[in-house]
Chains A and B, each alone.
Chain A
Amino acid sequence: MTALTLVKVERIKLFSTRSPWWCIAAAMVLTVGFVALAAGLITDTDAQEFTAPQTQGPYRFGFMIMMIMAVLAVTTEYRFGTIRATFLAVPNRTSALLAKAAVIALVAAAVGEVAGVASWGLAKAIRGSEAPLDFYTARDYRVVFGVGLYYLVAAVFAVAIGVLIRQSAGAIALVLLWPLLVENLILIIPRVGDDIQKWLPFTAGNNFLAAGTDHVGNAGDGPGDMPFGPWGSLVYFAVITAALLALALVTAKRRDA
């Protein structure tokens, strides 16, 4: 069985139910829609500071929904027993799950890429005359075109969580609460909270987009001195995710389907 065959299988599986389509549509509407709304509503003075990276603010909506899609693509297979049908057709579980992760990663990346560029394009169409929405620095390119990479890694992270937990409610709760709450609330821990936070995966991922600007994500979201620069942070995020995926693959291989 070639990798391409398995990818095709997972593509058919993903798109022959309706929920991924809904997730993709919701991710698009929420990201692009929010930016369009913001571009339309900000005052002329604020528009002076409406830069390209700022058009990516609502990226969180998009990657969260892509993570939900990724989790569901795995957990519904466990829920409905189709994972067993899959392992009967493809006994090499590692290959089957890697193909699934690849398809979901590609879809999430494409959604992130399209949403990122569309958000910027729409903002420019609406406020291009007043706002400085052109690309001035490498950072501007990185944020607008790189947001898809963040979606990609986050989706793989969610696939791994789905394989490990196998149950929709638990896995969705985890992928939503972990980046939103846990990685922020960790700051409550006195003294060390700050040091721990900067090593957490989504904080690192966020730093890929936020480094050198406070326009992306919540202001003051990330700790001041991150251990890596933007690209280093992305690699770090990806390495942690790869480790989690490896753990998930080993687990799936060892346990009864």
Chain B
Amino acid sequence: MIEARGLTKRYGRTLAVNDLSFTVQPGRVTGFLGPNGAGKSTTMRMILGLDRPTAGDVRIDGKRYADLKEPLRHVGALLDARWVHPNRSARAHLRWLAVSNRLPEKRVGEVLELVGLTQVAGRRAGGYSLGMSQRLGIAGALLGDPGVLLFDEPVNGLDPEGILWIRQFMHRLAAEGRTVFVSSHLLSEMALTAQDLVVIGRGRLISQTSTSAFIEAASGSTVRVRGPELGRLREVIVAGGLAADDAPASDEGPAALVVHGATTDAVGELAGRAGLVLHELAAQRGSLEQAFIQMTGGDVEYRTGTPVGVAAPAGGPVMAVPGQPAGAGILSGAAPAGKGEPR
């Protein structure tokens, strides 16, 4: 288990990580999600005692990293696959790591086999492809058979086969009861890899939740509704306590309304009670990536602390629009998924 409390890191004038608290549970893959520059790598370096937090602390199974005896037996990390001397062979690299934590040297052969590098283990690591380097990094992380594993953007630059391999690998590690914490800036990737998410933006925690709940919140809360009497429809919806925006006629269809934070059930019932005819009633699924950008990339004033409710007007640009009150917007309705299909 990893527990961060009030973790803060300042580099000169940059506040890279800001009062970040979260926990990572064993037996699950926990995704660490945030756009570029959100502070994921910085946080991981602090977890591992490489960078000193400006404030707060982080513990692994109750201990600071620096207090772990023979840390490779507890924690395996792959922060950067290039942290290998290019003129050293993979075997020599793993060998000094093994010796440092008094691991039996036969472990070197075992992990090389595990990641499929046995054939090339004697070659200089500088000549490895990115995928091979990544595998060597994973071999290093697994050397001490640790219960806690950290991976920083492990699939960056890998081909689909490599991505699949790493994903399955992480699932297996978690299924063995280990704590697996893996960062990414791609929600679509995390949706397939992680069961839990720690989402950060600009160094702050945005949400810690299960992946399915996050995706639900990110994408399922907008309804597009259309009928012959748009004006009355809007009054009814607003009277029902929901926020509605105009969606002018566009490629997507004729003029309609977009209702935020609602389900098709709720909107349909409101319209039915008022006896209004509907021509279209559909849940709008924003693309995950768009939703994610809006949640993590906006200015601080557009963040509400919950994953829902930060957005731009339907069909509008992805960026939050100044003047839109925080929490009143929706996720962009411009995405194609599910468009026009009644639920």
Which A residues are within 8 Å of any B CB, using their own CB? 1, 5-6, 8-9, 12-13, 16-19, 76-77, 80-82, 84-92, 254, 256-257
Contacts and interface: CB of A to CB of B under 8 A. Distances in A.
Interface string B57-97: 00000000110111110000101101111111100110111
Contacts, number: 82
Best-buried of A5, A6, A89, A256 by chain B (most CB within 10 Å): A89
Interface in B88-130: 88-89, 92-93, 95-97, 99-102
Contact of A8 (B45, B71, B99): B99
A89 B82 contact: no
Given A13-B88, A85-B83, A89-B97, 5 more contacts: A16-B92, A16-B93, A80-B83, A81-B83, A88-B48
Contacts of B56: none
Given A5-B99, A6-B100, A85 B140 contact: yes
Contact of A9 (B68, B86, B100): B100
A132 to B, nearest CB: 46
A84 B50 contact: yes
Given A9-B99, A9-B100, A12-B96, A87 B85 contact: no
Nearest to A8: B99
B171 interface: no
A16 B89 contact: yes
A256 B54 CA distance: 11
A77 B86 CA distance: 11
Contact of B80 (A5, A9, A81, A90): A81
A253 to B, nearest CB: 10
Contact of B83 (A18, A84, A90): A84
B227 to A, nearest CB: 60
B66 A91 contact: yes
B214 to A, nearest CB: 30
B323 to A, nearest CB: 41
Contacts of B48: 88
A5 B71 contact: no
Given A80-B83, A87-B49, A87-B50, A16 B100 contact: no
A96 to B, nearest CB: 8
B283 to A, nearest CB: 47
A27 B139 CA distance: 37
A4 to B, nearest CB: 10
B176 interface: no
A9 B96 contact: yes
Interface of B: 45, 48-52, 65-66, 68-72, 77, 79-80, 82-89, 92-93, 95-97, 99-102, 140
B69 to A, nearest CB: 8
Contact of B77 (A13, A17, A82, A88): A88
A18 B89 CA distance: 11
B93 to A, nearest CB: 8
A82 B72 contact: no
25 contacts: A1-B69, A9-B100, A12-B96, A16-B85, A16-B88, A16-B92, A16-B96, A17-B87, A18-B87, A19-B87, A77-B85, A80-B83, A80-B85, A81-B84, A84-B80, A84-B83, A85-B140, A87-B50, A89-B72, A89-B97, A90-B100, A91-B65, A254-B52, A256-B45, A256-B51
Best-buried of B50, B52, B85, B88 by chain A (most CB within 10 Å): B85
Contacts of A17: 85, 87-88
A234 to B, nearest CB: 33
Contacts of B93: 16
Contacts of A13: 85, 88, 96
Nearest to B91: A16
A17 B89 CA distance: 8
B100 A80 contact: no
A235 B230 CA distance: 93
B92 to A, nearest CB: 4
A89 B83 contact: no
A84 B51 CA distance: 10
B83 A91 contact: no
Nearest to A6: B100
Q: Which 8 A-B pairs have the closest CB atoms?
A: A81-B83, A16-B92, A89-B100, A256-B51, A12-B96, A91-B66, A257-B50, A17-B87
A77 B51 CA distance: 17
Contact of B79 (A1, A77, A84, A254): A84
A91 B68 contact: yes
Given A84-B50, A91-B66, A257-B50, A1 B85 contact: no
Contact of B70 (A1, A16, A86, A87): A1
A2 to B, nearest CB: 9
Contacts of A92: 66
B130 to A, nearest CB: 15
A9 B102 CA distance: 10
B50 A88 contact: yes
A53 B70 CA distance: 48
A257 B79 CA distance: 13
A88 B72 contact: yes
Nearest to B103: A89
B70 to A, nearest CB: 7
A122 to B, nearest CB: 32
Contacts of A91: 49, 65-66, 68, 71
A89 B70 CA distance: 7
Contacts of B82: 80-81
Contacts of A89: 71-72, 97, 100-101
